[in-house]
Amino acid sequence: MELELRLLDDDEIGDAIERLPGWAIVDGKLHRQFVFADFVEAMGFMTRAAIWAEKRNHHPEWSNVYKTVVVDLQTHDVGGLSPFDVDLAEKMNELAGV
């Protein structure tokens, strides 16, 4: 699927949040915290998500402490949220089994 590099409008952002369980808008970014069973599971998730992000050339802002992964998504090239952020959030939910 070819994604367009453009800024999402407020309606598109609202629609995305409705279909992205666990995600919210925090400081203008898509934000989510994933909690896994343990550190290995969290790191496995990050590895799988990193491979997907690299294929899309769209990389998250994220951190990991033990079994918790915190993710923020924003497209710096457009100064806000783009279809690339929604796409990566959807894939991360899928990879986490959400």
- CATH number, domain of 29, equals 3.30.1360.20
d(CA 56, CA 67): 25
Domain contains 55: yes
Domain count, the chain: 1
Place 98 in a pLDDT band, splitting at 50, 70 and 90.
Answer: confident
What tokens appear for 55 in the block?
Answer: 């294929």
If 0-12 CB within 10 Å is exposed, 13-18 middle and 19+ buried, where does residue 87 land? middle
Domain contains 80: yes
- pTM, whole model, 2 decimals? 0.94
Domain contains 53: yes
Backbone angles phi, psi at 66, to 5 degrees: 50, -105
Domain contains 12: no
pLDDT above 90: residue 3: no
Place 12 in a pLDDT band, splitting at 50, 70 and 90.
Answer: very high
d(CA 54, CA 32): 20
pLDDT tens by residue, 60-70: 999 999 999 99
Q: Which domain holds residue 34?
A: 23-95
Domain contains 17: no
Domain contains 8: no
Mean pLDDT of all residues in 83-98: 96
Domain contains 60: yes
Spatial contact of 13 and 92, defined as CB atoms under 8 Å apart: no
Distances (CA, A) of 46 to 27, 42, 53, 81, 97: 23, 6, 10, 21, 13
When computed from its CA atoms, the radius of gyration of the chain, rounded to whole angstroms, is: 13
Mean pLDDT of all residues in 8-25: 97
